[in-house]
Amino acid sequence: MAADVREVLAELDEQLGERRHTGESSDRAATAVVDGRGTLVTLSLSEDVLRGPHPESLGTAIVRAVHAARESAGAAYDTSLRETFADEPPPPADEDFSQRSHVRPEESW
């Protein structure tokens, strides 16, 4: 059963690597594209900002664009996991999970 889950997750990881998510800074100075894992693929900068009077603002714009793209990728990942395991969550690797757990079901906080 655990091997099946690993295979499904490996396939999902491969699909995530092929997806692209775009984020843009609020001032449109920077646009970032990440893959489904959140790895930066491309970064585009506005020529206006590069030539403008305040190029120091570019660092913040880059961070915001990458952050927005990664948020999009994270949301898509969460959705993919929910769709993949919609029927039930993946089982623990060991069928008798309660024997390995430090907290027993009868214990409460």
Q: What is the pTM of this model?
A: 0.71
CATH 3.30.1310.10 fits 19-86, yes or no: yes
Burial grade of 69 (CB within 10 A; 0-12, 13-18, 19 or more): buried
Starting at the earlier edge strand, list the strands of the sheet with 40-45: 20-24, 30-35, 40-45
pLDDT for the residue 39: 95
Tokens encoding 12: 């999902």
CA dihedral 59, 60, 63, 67 (to 10 degrees): -170
Kindly give the confidence (pLDDT) of every residue in the chain, 109 residues in length, as a single tens digit, with 9 standing for 90 and above: 566 888 888 888 898 889 999 999 999 999 999 999 999 999 999 988 888 877 788 999 999 999 999 999 999 999 988 888 876 655 555 544 444 433 334 443 3
What is the structure's pLDDT at 91?
Answer: 54
- How high is the pLDDT of residue 63? 96
For residue 36, which of 57, 16, 51 has the smallest C-alpha distance? Answer: 16
Domain residue limits, the chain: 19-86
Q: Is residue 16 within 8 Å of 81, Cβ to Cβ?
A: no
How confident is the model at residue 100, as a pLDDT? 41
pLDDT at 9 (0 to 100): 86
